[in-house]
Amino acid sequence: MAPGTAVQGPPAGDAQLHALTAAALYIQSDDNEGELVGPSLRADPTVIGALRLDLASQDTAYRRQLRQAFFGDVDPDAAGAALGLLSPDAPVGIALGATTLTRDGWGSIPRTYVTCAQDMAIRPAAQRRFITEADAAFPDNPTSVVALDASHSPFLSMPDQVADIVKELDRRA
């Protein structure tokens, strides 16, 4: 979807199209301003039901944009290999499907959000909104936050720090 593409709401009662419209609107939301996934899409997700990336593109500017979106601080060779592992048509319905969060279920387990200051897929303001919304839903179980100066894929750019986070979470369990 090209920047500035107008997204219209779905017909009433069409839950799948509603989820797709929500995905498109999220990408364009104010708290995700400057993200690079939306400008990298090659089709309108509300039409095709997926976030379509052209992973076979030979356009060097486009490939650089994809690397910056997902792997900005990753070694270029590793980032190139990781690009090959992405799905060219990531279904949006799975991520945006209806889920009921309950106090006894998700609201009762400890949760940690690793914020990534250089993330160009989910910008820091959007990350903070996710945390705020989770904490508002379950104020008795606040989210533990670990901040990394990383891109969207710290498991590739700083695996030792990510491993330390996981070890610390295991120690607390």
81 plus 116 within the same structural domain: no
- 34 has pLDDT over 70: yes
Kindly report which listed range (15-19, 93-97, 126-130) carries the lowest average pLDDT score. Answer: 15-19
Per-residue pLDDT, 95 = 59
Instruction: At 122, give phi and psi (nearest 5°).
Output: -125, 100
Give me the helix-helix angle, 76-83 and 60-71, nearest 10°.
Answer: 100
pLDDT-based confidence at residue 6 (cuts at 50, 70, 90): very low
pLDDT-based confidence at residue 69 (cuts at 50, 70, 90): very high
- Average pLDDT estimate for 106-120: 94
In a domain, 4, yes or no: no
90 plus 127 within the same structural domain: no
Task: Specify whether the CB–CB gap between 151 and 72 falls below 8 A.
Answer: yes
Task: Decide which of 4 and 162 is more confident.
Answer: 162
- 7 has pLDDT over 60: no
Instruction: Give the number of domains in the chain.
Output: 2
- 97 has pLDDT over 70: no
Of 3, 11, 23, 29, nearest to 125 by C-alpha is 29
Angle, alpha carbons 65-68-72 (nearest 5°): 165
91 plus 110 within the same structural domain: no
In a domain, 2, yes or no: no
- Average pLDDT estimate for 47-75: 94
Name the β-bridge partners of 114: 146
Query: Widest CA span of the chain, in angstroms?
Result: 50
116 plus 90 within the same structural domain: no
Q: Percentage of the chain with pLDDT > 70? A: 80
Q: Which of 34, 61, 96 represents a domain boundary (last residue)?
A: 96
pLDDT-based confidence at residue 90 (cuts at 50, 70, 90): confident
19 plus 83 within the same structural domain: yes
> The pTM is what?
0.81
Q: What is the chain's mean pLDDT, rounded?
A: 84
Determine the structural domain holding residue 37 and report its residue range.
15-96
